[in-house]
Amino acid sequence: MRTLYLLRHAKSSWKNEDLADFDRPLAGRGRKASESMGRFLKTKQIAVDLVLSSPAVRARETTDLMLRAAKLRPDLRYDERIYEATTGRLLEVISQIENEQKTVVLVGHNPGMQELLEVLTGQTEEFSTATLAKIVFKNSKWTEVALKKGTLEWIVRPKELDKDN
């Protein structure tokens, strides 16, 4: 069995219009949402073997804040293929995950993350910033992650967590 968490980077800042898209940092709201997602993972006692993240500044910051709040220290890799990735490219990244990695978090961008969720589960969901989705696969290898063969166990958005606080 394999578990894949999809996490869209948190809300980024547009204050400095001179920055390239890749270099945009998180907004204050994004920092809070990243930490909320991390606390959510900690509360759920979710263990993670591997985090694959876009190297864009806002994705790196989301990843770092989430992992710190969750008190997790998984294997962490930044993969430039995730930035501005198509669904096909994201599927390629997933298919190359080593089989000893059972639980993986993929941190990326829209529209890729929302489209990937639909391709993997057959379900369409809004994937706002800092949304986290849990998808479970019954297969034993990442190369066997087939289209629409995953089960969406849950999806959580920062607004939903804020209601609980």
Let me know: does 34 contact 130? Beta carbons within 8 Å.
yes
Instruction: Write the pLDDT tens digit of every residue in 130-165.
Output: 999 999 999 889 998 877 789 999 999 998 886 644
Nearest to 118 by CA among 74, 148, 83: 148
pLDDT tens per residue across span 7-55: 999 999 988 888 999 999 999 999 999 999 999 999 999 999 999 999 9
Residue pointed to by tokens 């989705």: 133
Give the chain's domains with CATH numbers.
2-164 (3.40.50.1240)
> Facing residues of 49 across strands?
none
Mean pLDDT, range 64-69, rounded to an integer: 98
pTM score: 0.95
